[in-house]
A and B are shown apart, each in its own frame.
Chain A
Amino acid sequence: MPHSYPALSAEQKKELSDIALRIVAPGKGILAADESVGSMAKRLSQIGVENTEENRRLYRQVLFSADDRVKKCIGGVIFFHETLYQKDDNGVPFVRTIQDKGIVVGIKVDKGVVPLAGTDGETTTQGLDGLSERCAQYKKDGADFAKWRCVLKISERTPSALAILENANVLARYASICQQNGIVPIVEPEILPDGDHDLKRCQYVTEKVLAAVYKALSDHHVYLEGTLLKPNMVTPGHACPIKYSPEEIAMATVTALRRTVPPAVPGVTFLSGGQSEEEASLNLNAINRCPLPRPWALTFSYGRALQASALNAWRGQKDNAGAATEEFIKRAEVNGLAAQGKYEGSGEDGGAAAQSLYIANHAY
């Protein structure tokens, strides 16, 4: 084996690891506000709002104008490219508003899924071309972390060995390129909840996928202390007839992570998938109360599970902006507590908070 050629200098490593730790500082998680234009179309159509650039700007303004209460529960916000260059009504760039709150700015860098020929509808994710130059520019423009989503699904013959290998490899290439440019990569190997498989099956598949991801990251010389993981929680398929408690989900999830995610990874920021706002908070809370030893922070990187009530309250009306922002702050604070195992539950079941946010075969 030739002598190692260090991928990063000591200073680069320190910068990356400091950024990662800031994002997942105790009680903090991530607002995933990086919905592509296509995904925003679905969200806005649900509340009868036209999908224009201005409406997308107005909606993100609702979220980003949250007051200082979010400082203690939001460590990072993921932006979509368009949003990174938008401003609020007073001409203040969104990036600056977020940074001024001491929140780290992140950017979605993948370019969506493409099919893997010869598989049963499986995909890989594109976006590696020119990624280094794009990251360098995003870093100049205020981003300190990035996100790239890979998608796997469970069925009779999937995920296949090819899908696991290819997605793990592409995640590792993306992560390596990010770190070269001072950007902390959030590594997201999402296993969709589509299907009727049970909890155990999801746990088994999650373990296989994560083992492959961490082998690929090691092969590509990625500095784990300067990364974050954004996995699915281990849950049954959405069409599974068996119901499981948050505690069962927590135990399966933490067990899978303990078997695959090295302690060097500073934080695991779960995606919410199709869970309702309340489910996502209760599950995160149970995860943080799980009796198994957990050497990484276990927190949230939620899109829908932070925004559903806010979207519903806004409905595109300027007059509703304040109330909508309050809904967002409320979910942010609840998840900040859940990330510490301190959430007692809402007590109220109903409204947008409990409504299932599952959309079949979700692609951004």
Chain B
Amino acid sequence: MAHRFPALTPEQKKELSEIAQRIVANGKGILAADESVGTMGNRLQRIKVENTEENRRQFREILFTVDSSVNKSIGGVILFHETLYQKDSQGNLFRNILKEKGIVVGIKLDQGSAPLAGTNKETTIQGLDGLSQRCAQYKKDGCDFGKWRAVLRIADQCPSSLAIQENANALARYASICQQNGLVPIVEPEVIPDGDHDLEHCQYVTEKVLAAVYKALNDHHVYLEGTLLKPNMVTAGHACTKKYTPEQVAMATVTALHRTVPAAVPGICFLSGGMSEEDATLNLNAINLCPLPKPWKLSFSYGRALQASALAAWAGKAANKKATQEAFMKRAVANSEAAKGKYVHTGSSSAASTQSLFTASYTY
């Protein structure tokens, strides 16, 4: 074996590990507000609002100008490229508003999926070309973390070993490039909930996928203490007839993680997939109460599960700003409580919060 060539200096490592820890400190989690233009289109269509740049700006403005106390629940916000350069109605850049609240700004870096020929409709993710230069620019423009979503699905012959290996490799290349540019990479290998498979099968697949991801990260000399993981919780497929409790979901999830995720990873921020706001919170809470050893922070990186009620309250009308902010703050606080295992279900939940947010074969 050749002598090692350190990928990062001690100063670079320190910076990365401090950023990662700040994001998940004290029960904080992440608001995933990085919906692409197309995906925002889906969201806005549900509340019958036109998908214009101004409407997208207005909704994000309402979220980001919420009271500063949100910084007790939200440690980081992931932005889409367009949003990073947008301003509020007073001309203040969104990213500065967030930073002033002490929230770390992140940026979605992948450029969507591409098919893997010879597979059963499986995909890999694009975005590596020129990624280093893009990261350097984003760092200058105020970002401190990146996010890249790989997608795997459970079906006949899926995920195949090619899909697992290729997505793990792409994630590791992305992570390595991020770290070279001072960005903490959030590594997201999502096993989507489409299908009728049971909880055990999802656990098995999740373990195989995560083992491959961490082997790839090691092969690519990625500094684990300066990364975060954004996995799916282990759940049954959405068309599975058997129902499972939050405790069963929690046990399956934490078991899978503790068999694959090294303790050096500071935090695991779950995606919400198609879960309702309330289920996403209840499951996260159960995960934090699970009796297995949990050496990483177990928190959230939620998009829909933080914004559904807020979107419904807004309905595109500026007059609804206060109600929108309250709805968002309520979910933020609830999830932060859940990240500490302290969430107490109040019993009253709005229709929007329990409504399933599942969209078949979800892609951004």
Chain A interface residues (CB < 8 Å from chain B): 1-4, 154, 157-161, 200-201, 204-205, 207-208, 211-212, 214-215, 218-219, 224-225, 255, 258-264, 293-295
Contacts and interface: CB of A to CB of B under 8 A. Distances in A.
Interface string B274-313: 0000000000000000000111000000000000000000
B158 A211 contact: no
A262 B261 contact: yes
Contact of B263 (A1, A214, A295): A295
A293 B214 contact: no
Given A160-B1, A201-B4, A218-B208, A1 B260 contact: no
Contacts of B85: none
B45 to A, nearest CB: 35
B262 interface: yes
Contact of B205 (A1, A207, A211, A293): A1
Interface in B237-292: 255, 258-264
Interface in B215-241: 215, 218-219, 224-225
A205 B4 CA distance: 9
Interface of B: 1-4, 154, 157-161, 200-201, 204-205, 207-208, 211-212, 214-215, 218-219, 224-225, 255, 258-264, 293-295
Given A4-B201, A258-B263, A262-B261, 12 more contacts: A1-B158, A1-B161, A4-B204, A157-B2, A201-B3, A211-B214, A215-B212, A219-B211, A258-B264, A263-B258, A264-B258, A295-B293
B1 A1 contact: no
A200 B6 CA distance: 10
A263 B218 contact: no
A262 B260 contact: yes
Contacts of B215: 211-212, 214-215
A1 B295 contact: no
Nearest to A163: B1
A4 B211 CA distance: 16
22 contacts: A1-B158, A1-B159, A3-B201, A158-B1, A159-B1, A200-B4, A208-B1, A211-B214, A211-B218, A214-B215, A218-B208, A218-B211, A218-B260, A259-B218, A259-B264, A261-B263, A262-B258, A262-B259, A262-B260, A293-B295, A294-B263, A295-B258
A219 B263 CA distance: 20
Nearest to A200: B4
Contact of A263 (B3, B157, B295): B295
A294 B263 CA distance: 8
Contacts of A263: 258, 261, 263, 293-295
Contacts of A294: 263
Nearest to B263: A258
A263 B210 CA distance: 14
Contacts of A225: 259
A215, A219, A262 — most chain B CB neighbours (10 Å): A262
A48 to B, nearest CB: 41
Contacts of B208: 1, 218
A208 B4 CA distance: 11
B4 A261 contact: no
A293 B263 contact: yes
Contacts of B295: 263, 293, 295
Kindly list the 5 A-B residue pairs having the minimum CB-CB distance in the complex, ordered from nearest.
A218-B211, A211-B218, A215-B215, A4-B204, A258-B264
Contacts of B294: 263
A205 B215 CA distance: 14
Contacts of B207: 218
B211 A214 contact: yes
B218 A207 contact: yes
A318 to B, nearest CB: 48
Nearest to A152: B1
Contacts of A258: 262-264
A161 B219 CA distance: 11
Nearest to A266: B293
Contacts of B211: 214-215, 218-219
A224 B259 contact: yes
B4 A204 contact: yes
Contacts of A207: 218
B262 A4 contact: no
Contacts of A1: 154, 157-161, 205, 208
Contacts of A219: 211
A204 B214 CA distance: 16
Contacts of A159: 1
Nearest to A255: B264
Contacts of B159: 1
B172 to A, nearest CB: 12
B170 to A, nearest CB: 18
A260 B3 contact: no
Contact of A262 (B160, B200, B219, B262): B262
A159 B204 CA distance: 32
B3, B158, B207, B262 — most chain A CB neighbours (10 Å): B262
A293 B161 CA distance: 33
A68 B218 CA distance: 45
A225 B264 CA distance: 19
A39 B79 CA distance: 62
